Chains A and B, each alone.
Chain A
Amino acid sequence: MKTDFRRVVIIGYGKATGEILKYTADRRADYSYTLEFIEHEPHALSVTKQICEERGIPFASLPDKRELGDYFGKIQEKTLIVSASNNFLFPAALVERKNITIINFHNALLPDYPGRNAPSWVIYRGETRTGITWHYVTAGVDEGSIIIQKSCEIGSDTKAHELTETLMDLAYEGFCECFDGVLQENAEARPQGFSPERRMYRSSEIPGDGFLDINEPPEKLYCLLRSVDYGKSGIFPPLQTEVAGKQAEILRYRKVAPEKKKEGADMLYLPFADGELLKIKYRLL
């Protein structure tokens, strides 16, 4: 198989990145590119370093944006940069270089939900479907032409971390399907059609502005709670609330059957319309 790309650089974190690393490492036998991995955002449970060690992939940890920019700036060969679950914004000068092609995985069906934390926003807005998009990177955020998309359903109990896991699997699946086309430069990409209402979600934005109003219907509260639930990853600060006039923060929540109700300190049980209960554990501040 033939490609003019001499070098493939993977940047990102998480499950999809790990799988893509393994896949691109195995495909070195089909194309004679060199492969390397860059960790820009270290993660406590990441296993990408180990994958690199096992498969002889050069590993570089570059948490500093300027250092990372310099690293990319020095690339001379024709290079494909694969950005998978990566929050580094590639500078326009890099994106426009002839010898560099960048593809990015976005965790929503572009042109909808561009920007950060898309899984949270689709849950918060009550969407029933979402998906992933692999697209070419241009100077604008999440604006490049679409190479491939994969979609999935959003269940009524789906939490942000569960949806993220599903999207990571789809991202890997989509990557495998389009990798040859991208390397051989014959992938069919279509431009995104932008509507005037297109809204960019920023990292500083939190669903519900980070406040859980316990006077709202439990169905709405459950939606908000699920939308910011990434376990302990700290993507969002704990939701704030007010209980009996006192400020509090949410520790955890769960949907429970009425017979499972166990009274406890700093605990609320709010009834859903279907009879189940929304259990919320909080801490007074």
Chain B
Amino acid sequence: MEKKVLEVLEEYCEEALDYTGDNMMEEGVIDSFTVINVVSELEDVFDIEIDAKYVVAENFRNKEAIIELVRQLVED
């Protein structure tokens, strides 16, 4: 699963793969428009629904947070 998430990030936001901090939004690594694409692709790849309540900066602070979000939604 982790590999697939990283592949999605590589396609839409390669900089996120090397980012080691904990606030990609504020630091300009990822913007709200890229988040839309990442969310759409993750939904398609994992056949999950990512509700708007999860689309917040906290869940996109780094690649680990995105992987954790997807993990939770897949397990649900």
Listed in ascending order, the chain A residues whose CB lies under 8 Å from chain B are 14-15, 43-47, 50, 161-162, 164-165, 230-234, 251-252, 254, 264, 281
Query: Are B43 and A231 neighbours in the complex by a CB distance under 8 Å?
Result: no
Given A15-B33, A45-B25, A45-B57, verify A252-B51 contact (CB < 8 Å).
no
Given A232-B51, A251-B49, A254-B44, verify A44-B57 contact (CB < 8 Å).
yes
Contact of B50 among A162, A165, A230, A232 (CB under 8 A): A232
Residues of B contacting A: mostly: helix
Apart from A44-B56, A45-B32, A47-B25: 8 A-B pairs, beta carbons within 8 A: A15-B31, A43-B32, A45-B31, A45-B57, A45-B60, A47-B26, A161-B33, A251-B49
User: B5 an interface residue at 8 Å Cβ cutoff?
Assistant: no
Write out the residue numbers on chain A whose beta carbons fall within 8 Å of the beta carbon of B55. 44-45, 231-232
Given A45-B55, A45-B56, verify A161-B36 contact (CB < 8 Å).
yes
Query: Are A231 and B35 neighbours in the complex by a CB distance under 8 Å?
Result: yes
B13 to chain A, nearest CB (A): 14
Write out the residue numbers on chain B whose beta carbons fall within 8 Å of the beta carbon of A252. 40, 43-44
Residues of A contacting B: mostly: loop
Write out the residue numbers on chain B whose beta carbons fall within 8 Å of the beta carbon of A43. 32
Write out the residue numbers on chain A whose beta carbons fall within 8 Å of the beta carbon of B52. 44, 232-234
Bound complex: CA A61 to CA B58 (Å): 21
Question: Can you name the residue of chain A whose Cβ is closest to the Cβ of B51?
Answer: A232
User: B47 an interface residue at 8 Å Cβ cutoff?
Assistant: yes
Question: Can you name the residue of chain B whose Cβ is closest to the Cβ of A44?
Answer: B56
User: B70 an interface residue at 8 Å Cβ cutoff?
Assistant: no
Pairs across A and B, CB under 8 Å, 27 listed: A14-B32, A15-B32, A15-B33, A44-B56, A45-B25, A45-B60, A47-B25, A47-B26, A47-B28, A50-B26, A161-B33, A161-B36, A164-B33, A165-B33, A230-B36, A231-B35, A231-B36, A231-B37, A232-B36, A232-B50, A232-B51, A232-B52, A232-B55, A233-B36, A251-B43, A252-B40, A254-B44
